[in-house]
């Protein structure tokens, strides 16, 4: 569409722009037209989403059938015109005009010889002065000049950008050289951290550096196991998991805020949330409590925290566009986020195998037991157990021992004869499991219609407890294998 | 096999969920059914006529698995029996429950059958439930409240007449021929 004049912008799966390293969003406006009066061939981009960042001005179309995204690098802007306040302008939608440099063909380019005036028509409810102010700040900030250059240090940055630059300055001689290099890097990191935490504003500007630092630390941890010269004792390796958790939470350098998005706040938040949620969801085993996401998301944002209401609204907006995640509410009222492809049946069959183990037949399972087997948080495991109970697979047992679940035997009990036990069924399996108190089952195997039990028996007295024989006849267990 | 007195307990008596009131409807219906039958059969064999909810009723606890029915569960199961006409609450607070493992009509039939085999058509109420003739029959040791209800039912049907006896505290029954 605008391919010849404006470069195309990359989008994520949820329709959010992919930001470059160091790029931070400043403002979002809806229903914005973009066109140029100078060039007739320049396309008229109508009613799109305008996103101002520290590096670019992006325009996204709202038409979901033909999604388009283009951008204008701020570096190509030569001049921003001030708004003329007149009686005429009071009745029209506010306009912002600026001049960009272009190639002779009209393609927007930094070192172009020709120029073009582009007009933005802000049709939505906007505060033009506020946007203009941010536009000026972003353009004058020239953020694109500091990022992307690893060897020169930008204005105001207190730490060195890369250990590679250090390595060039200090002669590396053997092990001591390597150790010294490490030492200097850690010292500069330490100083950087100290500077950052003294002043919250300084922290915001250091945010980009922090993310770079975190990324480097992550790589260092990953290679830590291969490094033979660094002191990797057990303590270090133990906290590796903690470090990864912490690193996960510093993933976002560009929070969508009410200020920058205005009326679009929930929409953009919703998309950003959909992107963010993918990794924690995987780590949580496919289902994560909404409260946990609230904590993780806010931690990642750092400042500009969102309220629980914002979160819930953001999740409910997922229905409106195509996301791989969904919000789910259990009967108990607990709300979770899970993948759309998630299958309950698969979890139920895993639960069923768990409760049929001899230990579980005897004493049931708790939410923590299920959590360990299913690889989810105990609160999530409890929701699954309650759901399985609702389907009739499990029964609850509430006592001073706590809240436990057993395989549901009630359907197996004959309504006509309460003493009748069918051969080869779950009922007879359960009876055998609870009856052998002196012997312990370690495994069972179903082969066709028979059940093969493996058990250990207390051989202290050098013979089987006398009760065994009677029980095995009464409950007709086909075969018993004994092992020491 | 476990027993309570002479009553043989089923295997599911050792199943812990049996002692927790189940919330899921289908499961609870089955649970209630099993408890109703168990209570009736137990009361019949042990000749229990009244269950007090606040008292220790052996059937409602299983020390082997360390479980017993909560007050709420006991009331739920007994109420189910009441709804079916196999029990009656003796007080508004639902603290005592009369168990009709024979319905009143069944008791009435048993009384008539018993009377048939007798020569005397007049006897006291006490004699019916504890006299020599009643020994060995189901009437022996039966609950007085239930006996009176059955007799009143029969009186209503014209099968007998109840009258006050010679001693101040006992009534008598004269059977119609």
Nearest-by-Cβ selection for A410 from B19, B30, B37: B30
CA distances to A181, A214, B80, B86, B98 from B40, rounded to whole Å, are: 86, 71, 12, 8, 11
CA distances to A3, A126, A176, A214, B165 from B108, rounded to whole Å, are: 99, 89, 106, 88, 21
CB A392, CB B24: distance < 8 Å: yes
| Residues written for chain B | 177
Task: Give me the numbers of helices (H) and strands (E) for chain B, helices first please.
Answer: 5, 10
Q: Do A410 and B24 touch (CB under 8 A)?
A: no
Q: Which residue, among A402, A393, A367, has the nearest Cα to A381 in the 3D structure?
A: A367
CA distances to A2, A72, A75, A214, A294 from A51, rounded to whole Å, are: 17, 11, 16, 27, 25
DSSP letter for A17, please. Answer: B
Quote the pLDDT of residue A150: 37
Give the residue on B whose Cα is nearest the Cα of A363.
Answer: B16
| Chain B 5-64, residues with CB within 8 Å of chain A CB atoms | 8, 10-12, 14-17, 19-20, 22-24, 26-27, 30-31, 33-34, 37-38
Give the residue on B whose Cα is nearest the Cα of A397.
Answer: B17
Q: Do A397 and B10 touch (CB under 8 A)?
A: no
- Chain B hits for A396, CB-CB cut-off 8 Å, are 17, 20, 22-23
Give the residue on B whose Cα is nearest the Cα of A432.
Answer: B11
- Residue A170: phi, psi to the nearest 5? -100, 130
Establish if A398 touches chain B: CB-CB under 8 angstroms.
yes
CB-based burial of residue A18 (10 Å sphere; 0-12 exposed, 13-18 middle, 19+ buried)?
exposed
Min CA distance, A452 vs chain B (Å)? Answer: 21
Establish if A104 touches chain B: CB-CB under 8 angstroms.
no
In angstroms, how far is the first alpha carbon of chain B from the final one? Answer: 49
Q: Do B20 and A434 touch (CB under 8 A)?
A: no
Angle separating helix axes B144-156 and B104-116, nearest 10 degrees:
80
Q: Do B22 and A396 touch (CB under 8 A)?
A: yes
Q: Do A418 and B20 touch (CB under 8 A)?
A: no
Q: Which of A404, A410, A426, A467 to mutate to test the interface with B (most CBs of B within 10 A)?
A: A410
Dihedral over Cα of A33, A62, A66, A13: its sign: positive
- Chain B hits for A397, CB-CB cut-off 8 Å, are 16-17, 19-20, 67
CA distances to A333, A358, A365, A440, A444 from A351, rounded to whole Å, are: 22, 14, 10, 22, 16
CATH of domain A2-141: 2.30.29.30
DSSP letter for A105, please. Answer: T
Boundaries of every domain in chain A: 2-141, 183-250, 258-339, 353-460
Establish if A365 touches chain B: CB-CB under 8 angstroms.
no
What is the rounded distance in angstroms from the CA atom of residue B35 to the CA atom of residue B89? 17
| CB atoms closer than 10 angstroms to residue A38 | 15
Quote the pLDDT of residue A431: 86
Question: Tokens representing B59?
Answer: 């059937």
Q: Which residue, among B82, B100, B101, has the nearest Cα to B92 in the 3D structure?
A: B82
- Chain B hits for A421, CB-CB cut-off 8 Å, are 11
Min CA distance, B164 vs chain A (Å)? Answer: 46
Min CA distance, A415 vs chain B (Å)? Answer: 8
Establish if A395 touches chain B: CB-CB under 8 angstroms.
yes
Q: Do B23 and A396 touch (CB under 8 A)?
A: yes
Into which CATH architecture does domain A353-460 fall?
Answer: Orthogonal Bundle (1.10)
In angstroms, how far is the first alpha carbon of chain A from the final one? Answer: 78
Query: What single string gives the DSSP state of each residue in A333-390?
Result: S-EEEEETT--HHHHHHHHHHHHTSHHHHHH-B-HHHHHHHHTS-HHHHHHHHHHHHH
Work out the pLDDT band at B129, boundaries 50, 70, 90. confident
DSSP letter for A108, please. Answer: B
Quote the pLDDT of residue A283: 86
DSSP H/E element including A465: none
Nearest-by-Cβ selection for B31 from A410, A421, A431: A410
Give the residue on B whose Cα is nearest the Cα of A405.
Answer: B17
Q: Tens digit of pLDDT per residue, chain A (484 long)?
A: 455 678 888 888 788 888 887 888 888 888 888 888 887 777 788 888 899 998 999 999 877 666 788 899 999 898 888 877 666 666 778 888 998 888 887 788 887 888 888 888 888 877 788 888 889 888 888 888 875 443 333 343 334 343 333 334 444 467 777 788 888 888 888 887 776 666 666 666 667 777 777 777 767 766 654 554 444 454 554 555 555 555 555 555 455 555 555 547 778 888 889 999 988 988 888 889 999 999 999 998 887 788 898 888 888 888 877 888 989 888 888 899 998 878 788 889 999 999 999 889 988 999 999 999 888 888 889 999 999 999 999 999 999 888 999 999 999 998 888 888 888 889 988 888 887 544 555 566 776 766 666 655 543 323 344 334 333 433 444 444 332 2
- Chain-centre distance of CA A373, in angstroms? 23
What b/e string do you get for A176-194 counting C-beta neighbours within 10 Å, with b at 16 or more? eeeeebeebbeeebeebee
A258-339 CATH choice from 3.90.226.10, 3.40.640.10, 1.20.140.10, 1.10.10.10: 1.10.10.10
Q: Which distant-in-sequence residues (6+ apart) come within 8 Å of A140 by Cβ?
A: none
Q: Which of A359, A397, A437 to mutate to test the interface with B (most CBs of B within 10 A)?
A: A397
- Reported pTM: 0.58
DSSP H/E element including A301: helix A290-301
CB A112, CB A28: distance < 8 Å: no
Quote the pLDDT of residue B68: 92
DSSP letter for A76, please. Answer: G
DSSP H/E element including A408: none
CB A207, CB A254: distance < 8 Å: no
Question: Tokens representing A129?
Answer: 């002065």
Residue B141 predicted with pLDDT over 80: yes
Q: Do A397 and B23 touch (CB under 8 A)?
A: no
Q: Do B16 and A392 touch (CB under 8 A)?
A: no
What is the rounded distance in angstroms from the CA atom of residue A343 to the CA atom of residue A348? 9
Angle separating helix axes A265-283 and A290-301, nearest 10 degrees:
110
- Chain B hits for A395, CB-CB cut-off 8 Å, are 17, 20, 22, 27
Establish if A404 touches chain B: CB-CB under 8 angstroms.
yes
Quote the pLDDT of residue B126: 85
User: Mean pLDDT score of chain B, rounded to an integer?
Assistant: 88
Give the residue on B whose Cα is nearest the Cα of A437.
Answer: B64
Q: Which of B14, B23, B27 to mutate to test the interface with A (most CBs of A within 10 A)?
A: B27
SS3 A117: strand
Establish if A419 touches chain B: CB-CB under 8 angstroms.
yes
Quote the pLDDT of residue A455: 57
CB A45, CB A33: distance < 8 Å: yes
Number of A to B CB contacts under 8 A, please give it.
63
Q: Do B34 and A410 touch (CB under 8 A)?
A: yes
- Same fold for the domain at A2-141 and the one at A353-460? no
Q: Which distant-in-sequence residues (6+ apart) come within 8 Å of A374 by Cβ?
A: A285, A347, A350, A351, A380, A381, A384
Residue B49 predicted with pLDDT over 70: yes
The pLDDT tens digits for B5-29 are: 788 889 899 999 999 999 999 999 9
Residue with tokens 């007799």: B151
The pLDDT tens digits for A81-113 are: 887 766 666 677 888 899 888 888 778 888 788
Establish if B66 touches chain A: CB-CB under 8 angstroms.
yes
Give the largest Cα separation in chain A, rounded: 108
Min CA distance, A430 vs chain B (Å)? Answer: 9
Q: Do A418 and B10 touch (CB under 8 A)?
A: yes
Establish if A410 touches chain B: CB-CB under 8 angstroms.
yes
Question: Tokens representing A320?
Answer: 């409106």
Question: Tokens representing B153?
Answer: 């039912």
């Amino acid at each position: 569409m605008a391919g010849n004049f404006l470069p195309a912008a990359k989008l994520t799966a949820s329709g959010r722009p992919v930001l470059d390293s160091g790029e931070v969003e400043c403002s979002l406006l809806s229903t914005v037209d973009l066109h140029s009066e100078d060039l007739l061939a320049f396309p008229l981009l109508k009613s799109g989403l305008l996103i101002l960042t520290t590096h670019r001005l992006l325009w996204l179309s709202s038409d979901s059938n033909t999604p388009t995204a283009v951008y204008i690098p701020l570096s190509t802007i030569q001049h921003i015109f001030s708004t003329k306040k007149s009686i005429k302008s009071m009745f029209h939608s506010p306009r912002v005009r600026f001049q960009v440099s272009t190639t002779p063909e009209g393609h927007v380019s930094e070192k172009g010889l020709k120029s073009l005036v582009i007009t933005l028509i802000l049709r939505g409810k906007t505060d033009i002065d506020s946007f203009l102010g941010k536009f000026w700040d972003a353009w004058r900030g020239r953020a694109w000049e500091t990022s992307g250059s690893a060897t020169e240090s930008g204005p105001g940055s207190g730490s060195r950008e890369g250990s590679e630059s250090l390595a060039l300055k200090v002669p590396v001689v053997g092990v001591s050289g390597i150790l010294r290099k490490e030492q200097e890097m850690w010292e500069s990191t330490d100083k950087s951290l100290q500077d950052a935490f003294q002043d919250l504003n300084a922290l915001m500007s250091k945010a980009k550096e922090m993310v770079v630092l975190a990324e480097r630390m992550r790589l260092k941890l990953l290679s830590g196991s291969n490094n033979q010269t660094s002191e990797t004792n057990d303590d270090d390796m133990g906290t590796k998991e903690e470090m990864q958790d912490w690193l996960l939470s510093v993933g976002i350098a560009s929070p969508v805020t009410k200020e920058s998005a205005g009326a679009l706040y929930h929409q953009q938040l919703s998309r950003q949330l959909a992107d963010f949620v993918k990794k924690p969801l995987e780590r949580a085993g496919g289902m994560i409590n909404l409260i946990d996401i609230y904590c993780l998301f806010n931690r990642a944002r750092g400042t500009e925290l969102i309220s629980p209401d914002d979160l819930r609204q953001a999740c409910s907006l997922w229905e409106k566009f195509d996301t791989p995640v969904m919000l789910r509410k259990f009967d108990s009222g607990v709300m979770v986020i899970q993948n759309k492809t998630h299958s309950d049946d698969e979890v139920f069959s895993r639960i069923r195998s768990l409760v049929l183990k001899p230990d579980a037949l005897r004493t049931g399972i708790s939410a923590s037991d299920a959590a360990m087997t299913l690889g989810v948080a105990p609160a999530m495991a409890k929701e699954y157990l309650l759901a399985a109970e609702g389907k009739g697979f499990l029964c609850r047992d509430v006592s001073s021992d706590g809240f436990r679940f057993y395989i549901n035997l009630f359907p197996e009990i004959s309504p006509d004869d309460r003493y009748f036990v069918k051969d080869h069924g779950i009922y007879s399996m359960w009876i055998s499991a609870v009856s052998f108190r002196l012997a312990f089952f370690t495994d069972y195997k179903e082969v066709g219609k028979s059940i093969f039990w493996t058990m250990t028996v207390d051989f202290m007295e050098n013979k089987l407890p006398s009760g065994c024989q009677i029980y095995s006849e009464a409950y007709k267990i086909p075969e018993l294998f004994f092992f020491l | 096999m476990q027993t309570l007195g002479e009553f043989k307990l089923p295997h599911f008596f050792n199943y812990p969920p049996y002692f927790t009131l189940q919330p899921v409807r289908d499961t609870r219906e089955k649970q209630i059914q099993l408890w109703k039958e168990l209570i009736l059969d137990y009361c019949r064999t042990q000749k229990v006529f009244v269950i007090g909810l606040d008292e220790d009723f052996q059937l409602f606890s299983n020390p082997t698995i360390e479980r017993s029915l909560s007050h709420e569960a006991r009331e739920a199961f007994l109420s189910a029996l009441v709804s079916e006409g196999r029990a009656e609450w003796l007080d508004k607070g639902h603290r005592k429950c009369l168990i009709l493992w024979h319905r009143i009509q069944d008791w009435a039939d048993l009384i008539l059958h018993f009377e048939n085999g007798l020569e005397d058509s007049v006897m006291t109420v006490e004699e019916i439930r504890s006299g020599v003739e009643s020994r060995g029959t189901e009437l022996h040791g039966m609950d007085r409240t239930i006996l009176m209800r059955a007799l009143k039912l029969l009186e209503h049907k014209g099968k007998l007449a109840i009258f006050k006896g010679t001693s101040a505290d006992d009534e008598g029954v004269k059977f119609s021929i």
